[in-house]
Structure 1
Amino acid sequence: MVLALRSHDLFIYFGHGSGAQYIPGHEIQKLENCAATFLMGCSSGSLSLNGSYAPQGAPICYLLAGSPVIVANLWEVTDKDIDRFGKAMLDCLLKERSTASTGCVQCTSVAEKFKSMKITGTKGNAKKKTSRKNMPEDFDDSICNNCCNHRPKIGSFMGQAREACILPFLIGASPVCYGVPTCISKKKDL
């Protein structure tokens, strides 16, 4: 996880809590740079207040590590609805990238893969039809970021993604955005 946080421009975590069971907050704070982060677990964005001292929580750790933006949940969420929210956020980001870059075959290809992704089932975890390993072999993020003049803002799609939830005022209202308006780009551009 440390390698993923350091070497990629976007880190997405779907699981229980904030993932602190895999990498504790003090280890995250040691990083010199950190990817923009989606923490889609229950209460992953909640902060504990310590009177007149600074609040503590996973979002603070990621911000101190240099992550420009963290999208995380303030309270407990259901797995299906938060999966819908996450998929809608990714759909919006990739759609914006592909429409802003006329002629970029790679962005369009990735957007089509995510569009075909379905979240189905009535029990258990959501089933996904595609993953990163199913992306085109010739897809190269660095080429796409260099050739295209598009830089979507992560937080700008949250309102639209909330509408994808079955319970938009309960589960859809849980995700919040910490940080600054952030574009997805390669680390060498930051």
Structure 2
Amino acid sequence: GAVGPEPQTLSPSLSPSQSRDAELLPVLRACDLLVYCGHGAGEALADRRHFAELRRCASALLIGCSSGALKREGSFEPDALVLRYLIAGSVGVTTCLWDVTDKDIDGFTLRMLEEMQGAPFPSSSEPNPNPKPTPQPKSMPAAAAAAREGCKLKHLTGAAPVVYGVPATWTHASP
């Protein structure tokens, strides 16, 4: 799989106002990585029952308050949308176990994506006269660990994100 500037590897943007499963399920089948930033785990975009239809499912960063917290519903086993991603075949899912602050978790997310792709995002449209050597891409758990270091509230916001799945590493697609 690939994460990078190639358009086919990035997921299109979706909003909760769009039809739920009709928009999200094709993205989960076609893309390697879905990045969701918003409230919760993005339950407004997909009905968890429809994940059973997937035979392939993108890895995901579900960056929202309590997006990975398991919830008990009556006498049934605890459940969360993150488990649906894994059952549908997602290699890895990063979620937050509790509520987080916007600015700190946004910085965490950007740093994690940079660590996963092994290159910083450009901060402006101006070319960098002194580019740093590109580090190797990191696995999702290693990228999350590195991104925690940039959080101001390391033991609150920095400790909230957890990675479910296996430590896969993304590589850039060849042209």
Pick the aligned partner of 1:45 from 33, 46, 68.
Answer: 68
Is 1:58 paired with 2:115?
no
**Does structure 1 conserve the Cα–Cα contact (< 8 Å) formed by 2:116 and 2:137?**
no
Q: Which amino acid aligns with 1:168?
A: K
TM-score between the two structures when normalised by the length of structure 1: 0.66
**Gapped runs of 5+ residues in structure 1?**
96-110, 118-128, 131-149
C-alpha distance 54-151 of structure 1, shift in aligned 2 (>3 A):
farther
**Does structure 2 conserve the Cα–Cα contact (< 8 Å) formed by 1:71 and 1:177?**
yes
Pick the aligned partner of 1:5 from 28, 52, 59.
Answer: 28
**Does structure 1 conserve the Cα–Cα contact (< 8 Å) formed by 2:92 and 2:167?**
yes
C-alpha distance 16-50 of structure 1, shift in aligned 2 (>3 A):
closer
Q: Which amino acid aligns with 1:161?
A: A
Distance in 2 of aligned mates of 1:29 and 1:171? 32
| SS class of match (2:78) | strand
Pairwise CA distance, 1:90: 1.0
Pick the aligned partner of 1:74 from 92, 97, 101.
Answer: 97
Is 1:162 paired with 2:148?
yes
C-alpha distance 61-185 of structure 1, shift in aligned 2 (>3 A):
farther
**Does structure 2 conserve the Cα–Cα contact (< 8 Å) formed by 1:29 and 1:62?**
no
TM-score between the two structures when normalised by the length of structure 2: 0.71
Q: What does residue range 82-93 of structure 1 map to in structure 2 within 5 Å?
A: 82-93=105-116
Distance in 1 of aligned mates of 2:29 and 2:171? 13
How many corresponding residue pairs?
A: 139
Q: Which is helix-richer, 1 or 2?
A: 1
Q: What does residue range 1-190 of structure 1 map to in structure 2 within 5 Å?
A: 1-49=24-72, 54-95=77-118, 111-112=119-120, 114=121, 116-117=122-123, 152-184=138-170
**Gapped runs of 5+ residues in structure 2?**
1-23, 126-135
Distance in 1 of aligned mates of 2:111 and 2:166? 21
Distance in 1 of aligned mates of 2:112 and 2:168? 14
Distance in 1 of aligned mates of 2:137 and 2:107? 23
| SS class of match (1:38) | strand
C-alpha distance 34-93 of structure 1, shift in aligned 2 (>3 A):
same
